[in-house]
Amino acid sequence: MLIFAAAACAAPALAQQPAASDSTAPAGAAPAAKKAHKHKPPTAPAAASTAEPAAAVAGGTKPTWLGQYGDWGAYTASPGGKKVCFAIAKPASSETTPPGKTRNPPYMFIASRPGEKVTDEVSIIIGYPFKPNSEATVAVGSTSFALYTQQDGAWIKNAAEEANLITAMRGGQNAVLKGMSAKGTRSTDIFSLKGLAQALDRSDQDCK
């Protein structure tokens, strides 16, 4: 299971600059680990958008960039000697209701960890603490999937649906993520799925 460091995402927020903030976690605090699921070269300018989140996913080790495919970067790393391969992206657009709330930059990644027999696990770091015991949703086209939340992370609630989510994302145009912060702010993040299939193929290849 990955431990995510919020400090690795200390970059300007994607939302408008606010008068109030929903990022209440202390700097450097790490979210709790995800609940167990049963399934569970020079850097090109295009890769810069995912470099910092990739370092967070890598658990403090330097990830190896495998390539940029559309809006998704493909990486591999071995934190603690345990290999992980993943595709990662930031949202194409983000908004909050009410508007003007700051948060850390959100991102989504899809990881495989062969040592744990986990393939293509979808994880989301939202950039603020979710409302306790709340659910989030991710929709691809007309199909919506429920996510369970813990601190600033979200994962698919029904592990049996994860393969369906991956299939939908591979063939979709956008994934729309909706959630609510501990302060009651609603957020909507739209992730472009351009290049996702290629990024997943590349990252999965490195973890075979």
Cβ atoms within 10 Å, residue 135: 15
| CATH code (residue 49) | 2.60.40.1880
The dihedral sign for the CA sequence 43, 47, 49, 50: negative
Q: Does 22 map to a domain? A: no
List the 93-97 sheet strands across, edge first. Answer: 64-69, 72-77, 84-89, 107-113, 118-125, 153-156, 143-150, 135-140, 174-180, 186-192, 93-97
Whether 9 is in a domain gets the answer no
Residue 26 pLDDT exceeds 60 = no
Establish if 146 belongs to a structural domain: yes
Task: Look at residue 24 and tell me if it is in a domain.
Answer: no
Residue 153 in any domain: the answer is: yes
Select from 25, 161, 185 the least CA-distant residue to 94: 185
Q: What is the pLDDT of residue 21?
A: 58
What is the rounded average pLDDT of the residues 77-92? 93
| Token pair in block for residue 111 | 């990881």
Query: Is residue 1 a part of any domain in this protein?
Result: no
* Residue of 182, 131, 150 whose CA lies nearest to 36: 150
Q: What's at 56, amino acid-wise?
A: A
Q: Which residues of 83-92 are buried (b: 16+ CB within 10 A; e: fewer)?
A: bbbbbbbbbe
- Distance, CA of 135 to CA of 90 (rounded, Å): 21
Distance from C-alpha of 199 to C-alpha of 37, rounded to nearest angstrom? 23
pLDDT tens-digit profile of 105-134? 899 999 999 999 999 999 999 999 999 999
Position 194 confidence tier, pLDDT thresholds 50, 70, 90: very high
Nearest-5° Cα angle at 206, 108 to 58: 45
Domain that holds residue 53: 38-206
Please report the pLDDT score of residue 28 as a whole number.
34
**How many structural domains compose the chain?**
1
Asked if the structure places residue 151 within a domain, the reply is: yes
The pTM of the whole model exceeds 0.85: no
Is the per-residue pLDDT at 177 higher than 90?
yes
Beta strand pairing call for 153-156 and 143-150: antiparallel
